[in-house]
Every structure is written in structure tokens, then in C-alpha cells.
Structure 1
Amino acid sequence: MSHDKQHRYATRTEWSGNLGEGTANYRAYSRDHVISAAGRPDLLGSSDPAFRGDASRWNPEDLLVASLSSCHMLWYLHLCAQAKIVLLAYHDDAAGTMVEGDHDGGRFTQAVLRPVATIAAGGDAVLAKALHEEAHRLCFIANSVNFPVTIEPTVLVAD
């Protein structure tokens, strides 16, 4: 008997890019859309500029990389708190690579997370670095994708 907990997430994506002709042709419409969920601010979405999108809006590819990075960070914060490692600062310059295919549309082939964690003086930097592997193992989003996600962590110790 499984004791797995099931969680559901509901969002709404609404296209706002009808410029008057609908999708009469490839250039007749904007890729703009709004992503919303109850009780949260709207995200303004579009496609990547390579696909006639608005560079000032989030695209699905950005959101996928951001989801991987955010999920990893949240697990890492949890694990540091459990291990009594005082994390003072954290940032991640994450990147993903998508390859367009001739017949299959395209797919992500990899993502790299580059978290930089600053821990309090006297903290265990070796353990702090090792906790990145555990965070990666536990990350819901990384466990859900079909491409490799690698972690290149840096741990700094505050003066």
C-alpha cells in the first residue's frame, strides 16, 4: 500500500495576443499571454524572441530553468536548517540548453545549476557543499524532467 501524498497545482494560461485577425497566419498574432493562479500575481508570458516572442516577458523555457533553480534552492535551505548550517546568502546563475529538431519541435538537452551559498563563519563548508547533492536528489522538478540537470556548487564562508 502506497503512502505517497498527492498534490495538485492549478494555473490558468490565457492568450492575450489576438491583434485583430486571430491566427490567420504566423505573423498575424502576438505570442503574449498571462499565467495566473489564485491568490498570486500574474506572470506575463510570451514565446522566446527566436519564435516571435516578446523579450520583456517570461517564456516557458525561462520558467523551466527557473523552476529547477528554485526547487533546488528550497530543498537546500531546508537541508541547511536541518544540519544547523547557517546560510547567509544564496544565488544561482542557472542555464538550460534547448535544441530545436527538424521533426520533433525541440527539447531541453541539459540544465546546469551554479548555486553560490555563503555560510556563517565556523560553518562546515564540506557538509554545506555535500548538501547540494541531497537537495538535487530530493528536488521535485529535477526528478520530473527527462534531461540531465547538473549542479556546480560553490560554498563561501563569511568572515
Structure 2
Amino acid sequence: MSDYNVRLQWQRVTPDFQYHSYDRKHTIYFYGGPKIDISSSANLVRNPQFQTPEELLTAAVASCFLLTFLSLCCKQGYVVNHYNDKATCILDETIRAVSEVILRPEICFQNDKKPDEGSLQKLLKDAHAACFIANTLKADISVNPVILSE
């Protein structure tokens, strides 16, 4: 079992503490690494210069899937030249939860080390099944890849 820790800090900086005016900016410190400033999502009082928890969740799912996918490809002898993802998180306010995360990876393999369609689908399925972050969420995770030529 592994554990991962962060430290979160928020401090009131406004003279009042009213719902529409208090500052939502807070800082997360990663042990052994950088810090990141975060604010609330756009449906609240957002400071656009900071990331939101929803964006961090989307990034965590996309990053976990990428790392799992690359690991599986490497172990099976496929060579990935580049991978770009335009991931989206859908927040369903009627259930007050993230209902779906959509991954749209653009993947370019080295031509002579490229999986066939059946092997690619298995890689995608296995990467999804082995992704710790995706397995933690109740939300649907869909993967809609585009395979690019070298």
C-alpha cells in the first residue's frame, strides 16, 4: 500500500466573510515538490488565474491513464512517439457530482512498433482497468482515442 500526502492552506484575506466576496484561493503544497494555487469552479466565485479542483481531478484521471497506457505499451513492445490528451470533466449539478470524464488522447506510435486495432483496444481497456484514479471514481470514464500516423 502507498500513501500520498499534500498540505492545504487557506487564510481569510477579505475584511468580511460573505458568500459572494470571500476569497476562495488556497494553496496546496506537494511534499518534495512545488505548490499550486487553486480557486473555486466557474459556477462559484472563480479567480481565472488559478486552477480549480475539477481541473485537477480531470488532470489526475488523464495523467493516470497516460502513465498506465505508456507502461502497458512499453511492456508489450509498442513504441509511443507522442501522446496528447484534451480531457473533459462533466459536472452534473443535479446530482452534485462529476458524472463523466472524457479522455481524447491523440496517440502516435512508431510505425514498425504499432499495435493492430484489436491490440490497441485491449491496451486501452487494460489501461482503464489498471488506472488507480479512474477506479476510485464513480463517474463514467470514456476514452475516445485518435491514432495519428508518424
Match of 1:124 in 2: 115
Equivalent position to 1:45, from 38, 44, 58: 38
Match of 2:53 in 1: 60
* Partner Cα distance (1:141, 1:84) in 2: 25
CA drift at 1:13: 1.1
Runs of 4+ in 1 over 6 A off after TM superposition: none
Which 5+ residue runs of structure 2 have no aligned equivalent?
A: none
CA deviation vs aligned residue, 1:109-131 (integer Å, no higher than 9, x gap): 11111111100012224223431
Alpha-carbon RMSD across the aligned residues, in angstroms, is: 1.5
Q: Which amino acid aligns with 2:72?
A: L
* Partner Cα distance (1:119, 1:149) in 2: 23
Q: Does the Cα contact within 8 Å between 1:96 and 1:110 map onto a contact in 2? A: yes
Q: Which amino acid aligns with 1:119?
A: F
Equivalent position to 2:26, from 29, 33, 52: 33
Q: Which amino acid aligns with 2:85?
A: D
- Count residues in correspondence: 148
Match of 1:3 in 2: none
Equivalent position to 1:155, from 142, 147, 150: 147
Q: Which amino acid aligns with 1:138?
A: A
Alignment of 1:1-159 (within 5 A): 6-21=1-16, 23=17, 25-101=18-94, 106-122=96-112, 123-126=114-117, 127-158=119-150
Q: Which amino acid aligns with 1:116?
A: E
* Partner Cα distance (1:137, 1:125) in 2: 20
TM (norm. structure 1) is: 0.86
Which 5+ residue runs of structure 1 have no aligned equivalent?
A: 1-5
* Partner Cα distance (2:47, 2:23) in 1: 8
Q: Which amino acid aligns with 2:38?
A: G
* Partner Cα distance (1:42, 1:72) in 2: 23
CA drift at 1:36: 0.7
Q: Does the Cα contact within 8 Å between 1:80 and 1:128 map onto a contact in 2? A: no
Q: Which amino acid aligns with 1:136?
A: H
* Partner Cα distance (2:84, 2:40) in 1: 26
